Chain A
Amino acid sequence: MTDPILKVDGLKTYFRTEDGVVKAVDDVSFELKKGETLGIVGESGSGKSVTNLSVMRLIQTPPGEIAGGSVTFDGIDVLALPIDEVRKIRGKRIAMIFQDPMTSLNPFLKISKQLMEVTQLHLGHTKTQAREHALKMLQLVGIPDAEHRLDEYPHEFSGGMRQRVMIAMALSCEPELLIADEPTTALDVTIQAQILELIKDLKSRMGTSVILITHDLGVVAGMTDKIIVMYAGKVFEQAPTKELFSRPANPYTKGLLRSVPDPAHVQGKELYQIPGLPPDVANLPAGCPFAERCDRAEDICRREFPPFVEVAAGHHSLCHFAERVYEQSKSEVNS
C-alpha cells in the first residue's frame, strides 16, 4: 500500500465572532491515497470549504484560527510550515479550483498573463517557455482556437470556458493534489457534464489525487472513490462511495439521499423531507447536532455527543445508533 498523499487528523478551525466561537470545522480526519478521488458533501455552513481552505492554509487569522489537529501532505506537516514554504506548495503541488470562475480570475489581465504567472513562479519558466506551456494547457482542457484565445480577457469567455481556464491554471504545474470546490455549481447541466468529464479524463492521465467538494450527491456518485458527509463542522459519515449510497449508516445521510427526487420514480409521491433548518454553528446543542431534525432521535441523542462508530471496514458513522441504522439499510437493500 502506498502512503497517503494527504492525511488530515483531528483538524479544528474556529472563528471568533461577536456571537462567540464558531467551530466551523471540529475534529475532522480523513486520508487520501495517491490517485484517489474523495468527495466532501454537505450543505452550506457544514464546514466543507473551510476544511479545504485550512489544508491550503488560506484561513484568514483573525478571525479564523486553526485550533488543533494536523495536516500532513506527502510527509510534510503543512500546519507547522513557515508561510513562505506553504506558498511553494500552494499552486504547485496542491492546486485549487473554485465555484465561481469569474471572481477567481483577474478581469484586468489577459488569460495568457494569468496562466504564465503560475509556471514562471513555480517552475522558473522564461516568458517564451511559459507562453508555450500556457498554450499547451489551454489545448489540453479543450479550448478551441487556443492560440488566439490566449490573448483574450476573462470576460470574453463563457462560464464553462472560464472554468476550463481555471482548470488549466490549476493543472499547469502538474499538482499531486487538486481541490475542486463546487467546480460545476455555477454551470449549466450540459456544461457540467463537460467539465466533470474533463476532470475525470485529466485525473486518469496525470494521476492526480482529487478532492471534490459539492452539495450535489449526483456529482459525487459518478466521480469519487470515497465520500465524507459533513454536518455542522463534523464528519457525520465516511465510507467508500458505493457503500455510502447503498448502505448509509447515518440518519442524516439517509435523509439527504431520500430527499433528492429520483428521476425514475412516479410523480405525485411526496418527497421525503428533513424537517427543520441546518443548525446555527455558533450555538450548537449539547448532544448530537442533528438530533433536533432526526426522525429516530432518542433522549441520549439530545444529551450526549454521539460516538464515531466503525460499522464496516472503512465505513464510519457519527451516531448513537450507527449499527442499527446500518443494519436497517442493509436489510432495505436486500428486500
Chain B
Amino acid sequence: MLIHLSCPKCAANLDVNDGDRLVKCKFCGAVSALKLDERKEPTLSLTGGKQFVPSADALITLDDLRVHYRSGGGLLSAFKTVKAVDGVSLDIKKGETLGLVGESGCGKSTLGKAILRLTNPTGGKVIYNGKDLAHLPNSAMRDQRKHLQMIFQDPYASLNPRMTVGQIIGEPLNTFGLKGSVSVEQLMETVGLSRRFIKRYPHEFSGGQRQRIGIARALAVDPEFIVADEPISALDVSIQAQIMNLMERLQAEKQLTYLFISHDLRAVRHLSDRVAVMYLGRIVELADAKDIYKEPLMPYTQALISAVPVPDPEVEAKRERIILKGDVPSPINPPTGCHFHTRCQYAVPECKTTTPQLVEIKPRHYAACIRISPERPHISENTN
C-alpha cells in the first residue's frame, strides 16, 4: 500500500510503501524513518541528528579532506582511483590527543601524512593557524613543519643508518637555523637517552631506544603538533609502556597536541582524549574515548572493540564477541552507500544506497549509520 507523505526536510511529496522503514528523499537526499502510529497518521522523521561540523577554533581543522590515488592503468586498461581518504572532516584541539583507529588499508596513515603534506591532498582543506596547509606553496609549507612533526612506526627504517644519533637529532636544528636554542644533549635527556650515546649509530640501539631517538628528532624544532603513526606497534610489550609514558610526560611538559594513529585499541584508549574510527577512507564514529569504549554506537566500532582480547580469563570466558564476516573490502572498489554494509549484521537495503553522514547521536558522540538516530541510538533488532 502506498502512503503519501512529505519529506520532513524539504517538504517535497514522497510516496512510501508501508513496508519501508527508511525513506530517502528524491529531491534533497535526506533520509528519514517511517513511523507507523495506529491512532495517528503515519509520519516521517529525519533519522539524522546534527551533522558533524569541525570546530573552527581547533588547532588543526580538517575540512572534507581527500587523498585519491590513481592506480593501475595501462595501454588498454583504465586508471582506477583509490580513495584512501575520502572526505574527512575532523578537528584536533590544542593540548588534546586525538586517537585515530582502523584496520590496515583504512587510510589512517595516509590521513596523517596528508595533514603534514608528506603526501599531497587531492581535495579539501587542512587549516592550521588560519592557513590552509593543503594549498600552501612547498616553500611556505617547509616553514610550517617547524610546528608540525611526525613520529614514525618503524624505528628501524626511519633513522638514517649512516648518521650518528647526534647528527640525526641535530639535523632539524640545522635545517631550520635553530642551533643554540636547544642542544642535542638536552633533547637526548628529555627523552631518556644518556648523552654518552651521542656518537653512536642507530644499529647500536634497541627498538625502544630508537623510537626515543625518533621522538627527540621530532621535538628538536619545538613543535606544537605531532602525528604519531603507530609509534609503539613494533615494540615489545614492556617497552610499549615506556614509550606511552614518555609521550604523556612530554605532552604535559610541552603542551603538545597529538594525532595518535594506531590499530592497538588498548593503547589508543589509554592515550587519547577523543577517538575517531576510520573505515575505508571515512570517519565512521567520533567521540570522547571513555564514551566510545563504553558505548560504541556504529556497528563497525562495536565489532572492533569487541574483538580486542582482554588480558583477563574470567572476562574472556564471559564475553560475547562480534565476529565480522569476511575481510575489509578493497578501497579500489569500495561498496556503495555505507562502506561497511557488506559485513554489517544490521544492514538493510537502504544501507547499500545511502551514504551515511557523521551526525551527533548523543552529546559529543558522532556516528555515521542510517539505522541509528538521537531518538533511537541503538539498533534494537534486525527488523528485516
Contact = CB atoms under 8 A, between A and B. Distances in A.
A complexed with B = yes
Interface of A: 43-44, 144, 158-161, 188-194, 196-197, 215-219, 221-222, 241-242, 245-246, 255-257, 259-263, 265-267, 270-275, 277-278
B64 interface: no
A216 B304 CA distance: 17
B238 A274 contact: yes
Given A190-B324, A274-B238, A241 B313 contact: yes
A25 to B, nearest CB: 18
B249 to A, nearest CB: 8
Contact of B328 (A188, A215, A273): A188
Interface of B: 103-104, 206, 208-209, 236-242, 244-245, 248, 263, 265-267, 269-273, 289-290, 293, 303-317, 321, 323-324, 326-328
Contacts of B245: 270-271, 273
A261 B266 contact: yes
Contact of A278 (B238, B241, B327): B238
Contacts of A273: 238, 241-242, 245
Contacts of A161: 327
B311 A221 contact: yes
Nearest to A293: B238
Nearest to B315: A221
A215 B289 contact: no
Contacts of A265: 270
B118 to A, nearest CB: 23
Contact of A263 (B236, B237, B242, B308): B308
B103 A190 contact: yes
Nearest to A41: B237
Nearest to B300: A190
Contact of B316 (A189, A221, A246): A221
A144 B325 CA distance: 11
Contacts of B265: 189, 263
A271 B238 contact: no
B307 to A, nearest CB: 4
B321 to A, nearest CB: 6
B327 to A, nearest CB: 5
B129 to A, nearest CB: 28
Contacts of B310: 218, 221-222, 263
Q: Closest 6 A-B residue pairs measured CB to CB?
A: A218-B309, A222-B316, A261-B270, A259-B241, A193-B307, A188-B103
A216 B313 contact: no
Contact of B237 (A43, A194, A266, A277): A43
B197 to A, nearest CB: 13
12 contacts: A44-B236, A144-B326, A190-B103, A221-B309, A222-B316, A241-B313, A259-B238, A260-B311, A263-B266, A263-B310, A267-B272, A277-B209
A263 B269 contact: yes
B328 A221 contact: no
Nearest to A266: B290
A262 B321 CA distance: 18
A270 B206 contact: no
A193 B323 CA distance: 7
Contacts of A263: 265-266, 269, 293, 305, 308, 310
Contacts of A193: 306-307, 321, 323-324
Nearest to B321: A193
Best-surrounded residue of B206, B236, B266 (most CB of chain A within 10 A): B236
Contact of B238 (A188, A191, A256, A267): A256
Contacts of A277: 206, 208-209, 239
B269 A261 contact: yes
B312 A197 contact: no
A188 B313 contact: no
Contacts of B316: 218, 221-222
Nearest to A43: B236
Contact of B313 (A196, A221, A261): A221
Contacts of B293: 263
Contacts of B236: 43-44, 215, 278
A197 B314 CA distance: 17
A267 B272 CA distance: 7
A218 B311 contact: yes
Contacts of B324: 190, 193-194
A255 B239 CA distance: 11
Contacts of A275: 242
Contacts of B209: 277
Given A259-B240, A278-B238, A160 B312 contact: no
A286 B324 CA distance: 50
Contacts of A270: 245, 248
Best-surrounded residue of A159, A160, A219, A271 (most CB of chain B within 10 A): A271
A192 B209 CA distance: 29
Nearest to A160: B327
Given A194-B324, A221-B312, A270-B248, 13 more contacts: A158-B327, A189-B103, A192-B309, A193-B307, A193-B323, A215-B236, A218-B266, A218-B308, A222-B310, A260-B241, A267-B269, A267-B272, A273-B238
Contacts of A188: 103-104, 263, 328
Given A188-B328, A218-B311, A271-B245, A259 B304 contact: no
Nearest to A252: B238
Best-surrounded residue of B245, B306, B309, B326 (most CB of chain A within 10 A): B309
A245 B311 CA distance: 8
Nearest to A224: B313
Contacts of A44: 236
A322 to B, nearest CB: 20
B273 to A, nearest CB: 7
A194 B266 contact: no
Contacts of A222: 309-310, 313, 316-317
Contacts of A259: 237-238, 240-241
A274 B310 CA distance: 20
Contacts of B104: 159, 188
Contacts of A245: 311-313
Contact of A260 (B266, B304, B326): B266
Contacts of A158: 327
Nearest to A198: B323
